[in-house]
Structure 1
Amino acid sequence: MSTSHHTQLIKSEAKRLGFMSCGISKAEFLEEEAPRLEKWLKEGKQGEMQYLENHFDKRLDPTLLVPGAKSVVSVLLNYFPSETQRGDSYKISKYAYGRDYHFVIKDKLKSLLHFIHDEIGEVHGRAFVDSAPVLDKTWAARSGLGWMGKHTNLLTKQVGSFYFIAELIIDLELDYDTPVTDHCGSCTACIDACPTQAIVEPYVVDGSKCISYLTIELKNEIPNEFSGEMDDWMFGCDVCQDVCPWNRFSKSHSEPLFNPKPELLKYSKKEWEEITKATFNEIFRKSAVKRTKYEGLKRNIQFLKEE
């Protein structure tokens, strides 16, 4: 079978598994990204996310993650919900409404890898879902699945940005896609709307100022300088995506596992303020919100309440 046939097989199966799209790029050293990443880290824009400083070489070279790697197969999975939380509630980022995406996508990618073994033969590779030093957005952009917006999220025409990105790195040569052009133009909606001014310049986010970082990754107390700036977000933040003109094309996902518990949509601020550990465990069982733990969510709510 030819590389073109292998490529089509993989893309067709990815679509059958429910992925929104699939693009493929050559597994090689990310020369352009190296100085950019080094500068960002040196300027401390990772905040307390020390893990981003580890495995610098692996982040830039997929062959160090999968020996003999030839291709990076990038996939997108829609998570845009059909319903959102009530207006007078503390807010949760839409990606965390349902089942933790790590498990959902990992299962789909494992199925894709099994399919490759069955249909093509002995192919070595690994599935990556935010779980290793892989620059997901960079690989997706190189695979032609979208362009990096000024808010540093991947953007796709007709689709927007409310999707997860993951990849298979495999030692199989395939046909490679080409990057698409940037369509942000002169728009600065995301920069203007960011509540904490975390988008410090187009295409550069200071992670230590981002509400997602402050409510999820930050383990210490939220600094007082952000009081009154959190826009009622208790887990994550969607502001830069919500205001992006390209997201007017977003369509609801069709993955039942991403549907939220009814309480998540109907709870008021008062109900969130009174949430018990038992209720937290019930609403967020197998949810990405577990990452911040009950104590972390309570800390965030208390900070918002005192603003």
Structure 2
Amino acid sequence: MLNNFKTYTHLIKQEAKRLGFESCGIAKADFLEEEVTNLEQWLKNGYHGNMQYMENYFDKRLDPRLLVDGAKSVISLSFNYFPEQSQKEDTFKIAKYAYGEDYHHVLKSKLKELIFFVQNTIGEVNGRAFVDSAPVLERAWAQKSGLGWRGKNSLLLQKNKGSFFFLAELIIDTELTYDNPFVTDHCGNCTKCIDACPTEAILPNNTIDGSKCISYFTIELKDELPKSVKGKFEDWIFGCDICQDVCPWNRFSKPHSEEKFNPHQDLLGMTKKDWQEITEDVFKKVFKKSAVKRTKFNGLVRNIKFIKN
């Protein structure tokens, strides 16, 4: 049976690569005991801000067996989204992950193909696919399955690839061969991400105060933006890449090869004037399938006005 586990594991990783995933690691589906205190403290400190959904499903976040009956394996995957070209310097900026089509849909489609492959290869397998939209501690599982380490900005880092990649998971009720956890922290004494964050959202011990993050303000917060952060967004109107842009490991980032992540032809050329004059029709055209739709047209206009005025 052990040989079967090894064979299945090899075939799954091979198929993941064929589908475009850069990394694939597998961990035993078990209770994340080492994450309990961190999650409790993070919520207690209110670092989730108005994201009340983070308080839900506490137990499920820590135990994948509560998400999939009889879960045995967590397959963690990474998918590169680093663009070949970025926006102009002197313009309002959106996070690179939102340049193209919404990654939730693109990766979910690939995960469905992967789970179909698993079922065809192994037989009757029950499982679920997750892409940043369910109570799964994806970075903890990625580290546990050997994909990389968590940097000071809390993002998963890989030595030869940096951090411009999405994470996704398949939780299945089949035993596989498990990878060793990634235990080495290669950030060392570097504090570039901490020093560069204009809202001081990056705290010691690889923790983010989500309620201070520019991404939180420009996407998650639906209320009026607080005056306390006026002048601190550095032209970011949807998400923020500052802590990634300054990270030395991201010098190894290479352009992705996923056509669906390419930006709309009008996006990269947009000037500040274009953004300030954006209409709902232009918004719908440029961001038709983009994650930018999460903030809606009115939310984007709110963010632009907040920076401009």
For normalisation by structure 2, the TM-score amounts to 0.98
Q: How far apart are 1:68 and its partner, in Å?
A: 0.2
Q: How many residues align?
A: 306
Aligned twin of 2:154: 152
| Pick aligned residue for 2:227 from 221, 224, 244 | 224
| Pick aligned residue for 1:72 from 58, 71, 74 | 74
Q: Secondary structure at the match of 2:100?
A: coil
Q: Distance in 2 between matches of 1:281 and 1:218?
A: 21
Q: Secondary structure at the match of 1:77?
A: strand
| Pick aligned residue for 1:162 from 150, 161, 164 | 164
Q: How far apart are 1:262 and its partner, in Å?
A: 1.8
Q: Distance in 1 between matches of 2:302 and 2:204?
A: 30
Q: Secondary structure at the match of 2:7?
A: helix
| Pick aligned residue for 2:215 from 205, 212, 216 | 212
Q: Distance in 2 between matches of 1:12 and 1:201?
A: 38
| Pick aligned residue for 1:142 from 135, 141, 144 | 144
| Pick aligned residue for 1:301 from 281, 285, 304 | 304
CA root-mean-square deviation: 0.7
Q: Distance in 2 between matches of 1:87 and 1:64?
A: 46
Q: How far apart are 1:188 and its partner, in Å?
A: 0.4
Aligned twin of 1:245: 248
Aligned twin of 1:12: 14
Q: Secondary structure at the match of 1:151?
A: coil
Which segments of 5 or more consecutive residues in structure 1 lack a partner in the other structure?
none
Q: How far apart are 1:200 and its partner, in Å?
A: 2.2
Q: Distance in 1 between matches of 2:197 and 2:174?
A: 41
1:78-120 alpha-carbon deviations (Å, 9 max, x no partner): 0000000011110000000000000000000000000011111
Letter matched to residue 243 of structure 2: C
Poorly superposed stretches of 4+, deviation over 4 Å: none
Letter matched to residue 204 of structure 1: T
Please give the residue correspondences for 1:116-135 in structure 2 after superposition, counting only pairs within 5 Å: 116-135=118-137
Aligned twin of 1:200: 203
Q: Distance in 1 between matches of 2:123 and 2:305?
A: 55
Identical residues among aligned pairs (%): 64
Q: Distance in 2 between matches of 1:280 and 1:259?
A: 17
Contact 1:141 1:148 in 2 (8 A): yes
Q: Secondary structure at the match of 2:154?
A: coil
| Pick aligned residue for 1:52 from 37, 40, 54 | 54
| Pick aligned residue for 1:259 from 262, 271, 274 | 262
Contact 1:151 1:202 in 2 (8 A): no
1:135-179 alpha-carbon deviations (Å, 9 max, x no partner): 111100101000000000000010000000000000010111112
Q: How far apart are 1:202 and its partner, in Å?
A: 3.8
Which segments of 5 or more consecutive residues in structure 2 lack a partner in the other structure?
none
Contact 1:129 1:165 in 2 (8 A): yes
Q: Distance in 2 between matches of 1:135 and 1:269?
A: 37
Q: Distance in 2 between matches of 1:26 and 1:119?
A: 20
